[in-house]
Amino acid sequence: MATVVAGLHAGMTLLTGMTLLNGMTLGPSSVLAVSDIAHAPFWVQFTQIVGSVLGVFLIIGIGAFCRSQKWLSREADFSLAKITANVLMPALFLDRILNDETLDALSTAWVPPLFGFGFTTGGLLLAWLIARAAGPWVGLKTDAQQRAFAICAGIANYGYIPLPLSQIFYPSAEVELILHNVGVDLALWSVGIAIISGGTRSAAGAAGGEQNAPMRSSFPRLGLFGKILPALTSAPLIAVVIALSIRSLNWDAMIPPSLMKSIHLLAGASIPMGLLLSGAIIIDFLRAAQWTGATPVILLSIGFRQLLMPVIMLGVASVWATQTDMKHVLILQAAMSSAVFPIVLTRLYHGDTATALRVVLSTSLAGLVLIPIWISLGAWWLGV
């Protein structure tokens, strides 16, 4: 189940004027080439980025519309999410890594995951500390509310929004983004789970009346390893390991073209499916959200996720990120709103779902404005 739902948070192409997943382009006269964007005036870059972000959110909106019309039912969510997480996303990772002509130095493949793990771990811990310190003054009074804030504000969306933006503006950085996401997953399933699972009770305990039973791992005898096992055994991570192994052994030329074509076709369906599912799930969350008295939490969420963290990430990137592609990855991640999947984890661990909804939905809505601004500012600040 963890692997299935994890695919829901893990980017999409736009309807017009953008590069599609199969490499085709619609409306070439209205979109600048990637090399031209880097040297275009700031206002031109900003206009292009705004159009890209709106296009991605439009696909999410279509998913929400499909849910409202009952074309995409809740009963279908599990099956489609399972296909997305276990078939389509691994196909995307295989396709990109095996066909990436810039991935020559496999010895440095550990750098993007290290950045992903470091920033995500730091964000989770810093969000938790801020929730503890400022919680009583902004409405995060209980331990459950503070933990929900920490896991939702501490992790940025690292899949279905940054991936298509990378494909549009920074295609050479897409593989680095995929490798970066491996580190994010490991941080989420270790540090993130440790934060949200503290002080909660298990679903089994709730059903059986054990009001004070602690949340137990699905692998209780394995300790911390049991908590990160879902990430280590997820199909996307396995696909990354397989693809890197094939590249390091120079076996990629031995793969039959028919197989690569099949993988490529499946890869093209991954992000559209993920965005449609995200839209359907978000509309469900919007209906369940309680906004009365939520203003302080909303302001703290946006201030942390979309003001403080971008400054920290871009500052670190200006010092420690030396490769252009890695800078592009960190620009995208610094600009992102909160990931959606932590809402699911909050529910799974019987946390404060109302707080989780407020954090994720408020930063997602603010992202319509702030994502283009931060991508533009990040590109200017890092000079890429």
Give the pLDDT confidence of 215-244 residue by residue, as tens digits: 444 444 445 555 666 667 788 889 888 988
pLDDT score of 214: 38
Cα gap 185→117, rounded to integer Å: 8
Of the candidate ranges 75-79, 229-233, 300-304, 364-368, the one whose mean pLDDT is the lowest: 229-233
How does residue 297 score in pLDDT terms, banded at 50, 70 and 90? very high
pLDDT at 23 over 80: no
Distance CA 87, CA 95 (A): 12
Residues 6+ apart with CB under 8 A from 35: none
Quickly list DSSP for 12-79: ---SSSSB-TTS-BS-GGGS--HHHHHHS-HHHHHHHHHHHHHHHHHHHHHHHHHHHTTSS-HHHHHH
How far apart are the C-alpha atoms of 45 and 47, rounded to whole Å?
A: 5
Largest CA distance in the chain: 64
**357 vs 24: CA distance, rounded Å:** 37
Q: Report the range of poorest mean pLDDT among 23-32, 107-116, 165-174, 298-307.
A: 23-32
| 3 state SS for 98-129 | HHCCCCCCHHHCCHHHHHHHHHHHHHHHHHHH
Q: What confidence tens digit (pLDDT) does each residue in 67-106 have?
A: 999 899 888 888 888 898 889 989 998 998 888 776 655 6
Task: Please give the average per-residue pLDDT across 353-363, as a whole number.
Answer: 91
Q: How close are the terminal C-alpha atoms of the chain, in Å? A: 40
